[in-house]
C-alpha cells in the first residue's frame, strides 16, 4: 500500500481526483485516511474477489476448511461481486467522510450567503444615511412657498420720511435669510409706500425685474442721489 503521509496536500488532491474521490474541505490527515481506505478496498477485492476464505494450501473454501480445490456443494456455484462492483462500494468510514464534506460545503455556502446579506444590508444603510445627510444639508430653494411667506412677515414697510433706513433694513433681512438676490425685486413692491409704488409703476418691465434699478429710481424720486448724499455728508460734518 502506498505511503501517503509523505505526499503534499496538492499531490493528495491529485490522487483523489484520479480516483474520483471527493476531497474538497478535507484536511491532509482525512485525505490520507480516505485514500488508504480506498486502497484497502481495492486490495481486498483483488485478493478475494468471491468473498471466500483462503485455506492453508492456497485453495478456497466457503467454510474456511481445506478441500481438494472444490466446494462442498458441487451443484452450487458461489459467486461474489465483480472487482469493478466491489471497487465502487464504499465503507462506512468513507461514507462518513463524504457526509462530513457535504456538511462542510453546506456550512460554507450558508456563511457566504449570510456574509453577502450583511454586506447588502450595510450598503442599503449607507445609502439611507447618505440620502439623509443630503436632505439635511441641502440649501432650501430660494423663494419657496412657506419660506417666502415667513420672510415677507419680517420685511419692513417703507416710510417716506426715512427711505435709506428702509432699504438698509430690507436688504439686511433678505441677506440674513439667504434669499437669492434675483428674488428681491419680487419682494420689494409689497413693502413700498404709495409714493414709492407710483415710481415703481413708471418703470419698464425689464427695470421692475432688477432690484438695483427699482432702488435707484425710488431714491431719485425722493432726490436721494449722489449729490444729496454729498450734501447730507457735509451737513453731518458741520454739526
- Residues facing 174 on adjacent strands: none
Q: Which three cell numbers stand for residue 203?
A: 418703470
Query: What are the φ and ψ backbone dihedral angles of 61, each rounded to 5 degrees?
Result: -140, 145
Sites in the chain below the pLDDT cut of 70? 1-2, 46-91, 134-146, 225-239
Q: For residue 55, what is the DSSP state?
A: P
Predicted confidence at residue 193, as pLDDT, reads 92
Whether 91 contacts 41, CB under 8 Å: yes
The residues spanned by each domain of the chain are 9-111, 145-238
Q: How far is CA 32 from CA 81, 99, 159, 202, in A?
A: 26, 17, 102, 103
Task: Supply the mean pLDDT for the chain.
Answer: 75
**DSSP 8-state class, residue 189:** G
Nearest-CA neighbor of 208 among 231, 228, 188?
A: 188
Report the 3 state secondary structure along 128-165.
HHHHHHHHHHCCCCCCCHHHHHHHHCCCCCCCCCCHHH
CB 170 within 8 A of CB 191: yes
Per the CB < 8 A criterion, the answer to whether 6 and 14 are in contact is: no
- pLDDT at 157 (0 to 100): 93
pTM (whole model) above 0.95:
no
What are 159-209's pLDDT values in tens digits? 888 888 899 999 999 999 989 999 999 999 999 999 999 999 999 999 999
Q: What is the pLDDT of residue 202?
A: 92
Amino acid at each position: 500500500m502506498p505511503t501517503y503521509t509523505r505526499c503534499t496536500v496538492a499531490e493528495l488532491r491529485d490522487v483523489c481526483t484520479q480516483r474520483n474521490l471527493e476531497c474538497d474541505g478535507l484536511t491532509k490527515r482525512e485525505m490520507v485516511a480516505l485514500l488508504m481506505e480506498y486502497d484497502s478496498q481495492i486490495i481486498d477485492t483483488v485478493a478475494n474477489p468471491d468473498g471466500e476464505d483462503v485455506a492453508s494450501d492456497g485453495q478456497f473454501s466457503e467454510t474456511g476448511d481445506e478441500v481438494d480445490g472444490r466446494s462442498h456443494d458441487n451443484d452450487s456455484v458461489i459467486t461474489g461481486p465483480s472487482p469493478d462492483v466491489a471497487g465502487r462500494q464504499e465503507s462506512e468510514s468513507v461514507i462518513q467522510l463524504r457526509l462530513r464534506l457535504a456538511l462542510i460545503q453546506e456550512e460554507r455556502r450558508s456563511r457566504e450567503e449570510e456574509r453577502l446579506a450583511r454586506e447588502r444590508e450595510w450598503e442599503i444603510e449607507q445609502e439611507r444615511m447618505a440620502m439623509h445627510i443630503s436632505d439635511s444639508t441641502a440649501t432650501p430653494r430660494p423663494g419657496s412657498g412657506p419660506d417666502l411667506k415667513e420672510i415677507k412677515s419680517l420685511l419692513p414697510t417703507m416710510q417716506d420720511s426715512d427711505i435709506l433706513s428702509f432699504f438698509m433694513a430690507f436688504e439686511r433681512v433678505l441677506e440674513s435669510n439667504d434669499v437669492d438676490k434675483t428674488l428681491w425685486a419680487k419682494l420689494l413692491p409689497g413693502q413700498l409706500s404709495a409714493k414709492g409704488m407710483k415710481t415703481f409703476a413708471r418703470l419698464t418691465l425689464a427695470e421692475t425685474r432688477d432690484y438695483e434699478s427699482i432702488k435707484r429710481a425710488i431714491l431719485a424720486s425722493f432726490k436721494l442721489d449722489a449729490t444729496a448724499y454729498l450734501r447730507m455728508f457735509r451737513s453731518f460734518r458741520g454739526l
